Each structure stands twice: as C-alpha cells, then as structure tokens.
Amino acid sequence: MNQSRMSRRGIVLASVLLSFMIGSAVAQVTSPGNNKPLPPSAQKAPAHQQGNADLSALQADIAALTERVRKLEGNLTEAEAQGGYTLLTYQTELGKGPTGNTSHLQHAVAAGTLQLDANGTAAFTLSEVAFTSGWLFPALRTERERTESLIGTWAYAGGVLTLTVDGQPLPFVGGVGGRLFLRVEANRADGTTTLVMLVKNP
C-alpha cells in the first residue's frame, strides 16, 4: 500500500513538473516558422509604444512645413521681402487724337532688375522695347528702345509691397509663393494698360 501511494505521488509530481515546463515554453516568445525564442531586444515593444519616444525630429519637420506653407501663402515679413528681383512689364496703348478718335496703337515689353535694400531703398534698372503703328491702315510701324534707371523707396506691410518712385506710391499685391508680386493699372489719360511682375531671385 505504501508503494502504491508513493507511485501515485511520483506520478502527480511528474505531471506538475511537465505542466510547468510546457507553460514556460508556451509563454516564451518565438519567431515564426522555427519556434526558436526571439532575442530579448526583439521581445520589447517599440519605443513609441512605451511612452518615451523622441518626437523632436517629427516636431521639427512639422515646424519646417508650417513655415514653408506660410511663405507659399504670401505671408511674409519685411525682412523676407527685401532682396533682388527680376522686373517684367507688358503694356498696351491706344493713343487718342485731337478729335478723340484713336490715333495709334502701341505695345511694349520691358525687363530689368529691382533691388530692395534693408535701408528702404529701391533701385530699378529697366530695358524696354516698344512697337507703334498708326491706326489707319496701311500704316508704318516704328520701333523704340530705351533703358532707364530709377531710385525710390519701398515698404512691406499686410501682404502689400509698395514702391514709391518720384513721390508716387505703386502698390504690388501677392507675395505668391514668397516670390511673386503683381500690379495692374489702367491710365485713362493716355490709354495705356500695364501689367508689372516682380519675381524674387532664388
């Protein structure tokens, strides 16, 4: 009888030991396919899941993107507006004779440079080519070229770049993409319409 009890105790102990060993093996993380335990480093959750991730790089990227969008939408500072520009113009004119009838037609293009300095000075250099023809056909076409340099002042506020030349303020709107300013005007006195573009140099 004692032997029978000892045999039963041995069987129980063996069962407990076997269950413990199986439980340990199941609890251990294994790699797929080969049932081998993964290294301890691979068994840990990623840093961002542990709540101590370093987000400084992501925050820097978001800040840089926000800054870029601000400029692309034309929200510049005065310091960002200063610098060198390419100046481009296109102009048409319908001249008026003494009786009020149209006397001639002219169109002109011009290209040059504009420098806006930190001290508020604006310096222009402009080369223009114009073609003129009488209104009655056939008419002789004439060509004119001129180069001009001007000094004025500039200011930037509220998305408007204002150039002042010979006491006349010339507002430009836009700042599109942080680089492009536009101005259009119509002069009823001489029948001209003009488009002026300022494109900031890279």
User: Which CATH number does 72-200 carry?
Assistant: 2.40.128
Q: Whats the size of the chain, residue-wise?
A: 202
Backbone φ and ψ for 87, nearest 5 degrees, come out as -105, 130
| Predicted local distance difference test score (pLDDT) of residue 41 | 61
Mean pLDDT in each 10-residue stretch from start to end of the chain (202 residues)?
A: 51 50 48 59 57 79 85 83 96 89 92 97 96 87 94 94 96 87 93 96 90
Domains of the chain, residue spans: 1-46, 72-200
| Predicted local distance difference test score (pLDDT) of residue 137 | 78
- SS3 of the chain: the string is CHHHHHHHHHHHHHHHHHHHHHHHHHHCCECCCCCCECCHHHHCCCHHHCCCCCCHHHHHHHHHHHHHHHHHCCCCCHHHHCEEEEEEEEEEEEEECCCCCEEEEEEEEEEEEEEECCCCEEEEEEEEEEEEEECCCCCCEEEEEEEEEEEEEEEEECCEEEEEECCEEEEEEEEECCCEEEEEEEECCCCEEEEEEEEECC
Query: Ramachandran region of residue 177, left (φ > 0), alpha (ψ -120 to 50) or beta?
Result: left
CA distances (Å), origin 104, targets 92, 100, 138, 190: 11, 12, 12, 11
